Amino acid sequence: MSLRINDEAPNFTAPTTQGTINFHEWIGNGWAILFSHPKDFTPVCTTELGYMAKLEPEFKKRNCKIIGLSVDPVDNHAKWAKDIQETQGYAVNYPMIGDEDLAVAKLYNMLPASETGTSEGRTAATNATVRSVFIIGPDKKIKLTLTYPMSTGRNFDEILRVLDSMQLTARYKVATPVNWKDGDDVIIVPSVSDDDAKTMFPEGWKTVKPYLRVVKQPS
């Protein structure tokens, strides 16, 4: 069964570069990003994990933990992390899951449930679909899921932008328009009446259409 937005993120226990974790317990009361890559010691993934290492302080500011995953052994992750720091300039301080038995990849539908064997002998090509991003909320529900092709590096600035949007819209009855960035105007959700909006947004808003009311970002 495929995972959809608002499904509970499947829990699991797995070894990582920072010890064995229970995923839900590791998340705690904050947000989390689980992102996977097909294979250690590959070029695109090296740039991606380095960039996430650079962004980790920004995610921490937003009470969001990040964790990587591939079907490689944990020992390989630790060795590869040295290459990442050397070539990308940032140390990987977040945990990386070693999913040698493919259990988490199958649990999150990155590999078919019928897939057999272990990580031994597998290549980046056979792991091509293990290249997903999941944003998980404090309620342990999936808020976003994305899967990219191997040849295209992911835009993790966009993941940070989406997190900003989701955290804002979880606090206020607003939605964010196309290409929104933190600080831009937002949209009052249609379920809020004009009378209620006067209380929520006392400084007023611009009515473009009855269903499109633009307001300054609340804070």
Residue type for position 71: V
Of 157, 191, 160, the residue nearest 175 (C-alpha) = 191
Would you tell me how many other CB atoms lie within 10 Å of the CB of residue 70? 30
Q: Give how far the C-alpha of residue 198 lies from the chain's centroid of Cα atoms, to the nearest Å.
A: 35
Residues annotated as catalytic are 45
Strands 31-36 and 186-188: unpaired
